[in-house]
């Protein structure tokens, strides 16, 4: 296993304690693409930020991170700041959701790409700029030598995301964390970016964690999928198993709320009732129970244990058995 996350928990303490991530466990094999799926606020992004140690940097909040995240034998949650800085960008790289605000508006694209190479590869400035042009070409940006001198606002959204991807893959990291990389983009551009990511991780043999709320993205890209709800993984399985035989009522609900082309026009979608706010703390029972149609008394007896072998789930009254 390249990355093994065990019982990752993140607590924000402001006026009251908020457990944004509540015992997430999953694993990523080398060259594997793993999906983390869930609604807004289920702890997807916090998980990824905690993994590369960027939560402690946000000094306006008080954050507590617990658990274990072993990356090739090193516990990322306990590594010191210096080690983490060396790992970021070289071993683990991250792609963010909003490409425009993730690029520095007053620094040319080329300098930003070259910076990563200078930092981790010890390249000289001209050498790094030459490599940066190659990287931009590799991610499908035409006329890269001219684009190198341009600024973020002169590129379209798709091009900006390509530039960010170029920065992320510059040092051929072993793990790429993509935090909703397509959310801010047009549907057609989304497809291109996903195709590009797929191609890059295959060519470089990079493992990838794809964080998304879009089950379509997962279906096209991921080898295995973890469905998160209220900061905990509620179902984890291979792509075919999950889409073929969803077990957890939440996963089933997510799949039902996708509009389908083969349904009658005017047929109503089946949303999950309630909202993410209607959660029960995991300690008291299943957090999804207040919104679940299949909730029974045992759901409130305590946190549902993990069941299943290859296709695991947390539910005492599942829709089907895997």
Partner 1 sequence: MTEPTPMLTPEGQPAASPDLEPPPLQAPEVRTRGWQALTPRGRKQRLDRLAELAAVHADEKGRSLWAEAFRRLRRNPAAVIGAVILLLFVLVALIGPFFVPYSPTSTEWADQVKEGQNIIPGPSAEHWFGLDHNGRDEFSRVIVGARQTLLVGVVATTLGLTVGCLIGGLAGAAYGLGGRRGRQIDNFMMRIIDMLLAMPSLLLAVSVAALLGPSLITVMIAVGVISVPVFARLLRGSMISQAHAEYVTAATALGVRRGKVAIGHVLPNSLAPVLVQATLTLATAIIEAAALSFLGLGNPDPAVPEWGVMLTDALTRLEVAPRLTVYPAIGIIITAFGFTLLGEAMRESLDPKLRR
Q: What is the binding site for partner 1 (CB under 8 A)? A: 52, 54, 56-60, 85-90, 93-94, 96, 98, 101-108, 111-112, 115-116, 119-120, 137, 140, 142-143, 146, 149-151, 153-159, 164, 167-168, 182, 186-192, 194-195, 198-199, 214, 216-217, 219-221, 261
Q: Which residues of 278-306 are buried (b: 16+ CB within 10 A; e: fewer)?
A: ebbebeebbbbbbbbeebeeebeeebbee
Closest separation in Å from C-beta 124 to partner 1: 16
Nearest to 159 by CA among 122, 120, 124, 196: 196
Closest distance of CB 152 from partner 1, Å: 8
Q: At what angle do helices 157-169 and 187-204 cross, to 10 degrees?
A: 10
CB of 187 vs partner 1, minimal distance in Å? 4
Whole-number minimum distance, CB 6 to partner 1, in Å? 23
Q: How much of the chain is helix, strand and coil, in % rounded to 5? A: 35, 20, 40
Comparison of 41 and 220: residue with beta carbon closer to partner 1: 220
Q: Is 58 helix (H, G, I), strand (E, B) or coil?
A: coil
Q: Shortest gap between Cβ of 308 and partner 1 (angstroms)? A: 25
Which residue, 182 or 241, has its beta carbon nearer to partner 1?
Answer: 182
d(CA 227, CA 237): 9
Nearer to partner 1, 28 or 167 (CB): 167
Nearer to partner 1 among residue 260 and residue 273 (C-beta): 260
Q: How far apart are CA 136 and CA 133, in angstroms?
A: 5
Is the CB of 133 or the CB of 279 nearer to partner 1?
133
Q: Where are the alpha helices (DSSP H) in the chain?
A: 44-51, 81-87, 99-102, 109-121, 125-138, 144-147, 157-169, 187-204, 215-221, 239-244, 249-256
Closest contact distance (angstroms) between CB of 309 and partner 1 is 27
Select 51 or 299, whichever has its Cβ closest to partner 1. Answer: 51
């Amino acid at each position: 296993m390249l990355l093994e996350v065990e019982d990752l928990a993140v607590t924000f303490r402001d006026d009251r304690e908020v457990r944004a991530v509540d015992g997430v466990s999953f694993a990523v094999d080398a060259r594997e693409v793993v999906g983390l799926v869930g609604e807004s606020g289920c702890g997807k992004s916090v998980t990824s930020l905690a993994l590369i140690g960027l939560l402690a940097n946000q000094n306006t909040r008080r954050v507590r991170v617990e658990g274990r995240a072993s990356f090739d034998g090193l516990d990322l949650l306990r590594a010191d700041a210096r080690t983490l800085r060396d790992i970021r960008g070289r071993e683990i790289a991250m792609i963010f959701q909003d490409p425009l605000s993730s690029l520095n508006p007053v620094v040319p694209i080329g300098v930003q790409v070259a910076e990563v190479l200078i930092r981790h590869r010890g390249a000289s400035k001209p050498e790094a700029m030459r490599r940066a042009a190659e990287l931009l070409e590799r991610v499908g940006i035409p006329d890269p030598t001219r684009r190198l001198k341009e600024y973020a606002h002169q590129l379209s959204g798709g091009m900006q995301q390509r530039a960010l991807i170029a920065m992320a893959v510059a040092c051929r990291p072993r793990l790429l964390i993509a935090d909703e990389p397509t959310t801010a983009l047009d549907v057609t551009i989304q497809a291109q970016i996903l195709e590009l990511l797929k191609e890059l991780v295959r060519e470089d043999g990079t493992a990838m964690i794809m964080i998304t709320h879009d089950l379509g993205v997962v279906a096209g890209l991921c080898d295995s999928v973890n469905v998160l709800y209220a900061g905990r993984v509620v179902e984890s399985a291979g792509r075919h198993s999950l889409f073929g035989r969803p077990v957890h009522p939440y996963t089933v609900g997510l799949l039902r709320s996708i509009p389908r082309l083969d349904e009658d026009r005017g047929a109503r979608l089946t949303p999950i009732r309630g909202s993410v706010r209607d959660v029960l703390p995991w300690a008291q029972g299943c957090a999804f129970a207040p919104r679940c149609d299949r909730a029974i008394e045992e759901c409130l007896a305590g946190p549902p244990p993990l069941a299943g072998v290859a296709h695991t789930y947390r539910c005492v009254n599942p829709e089907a058995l895997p």
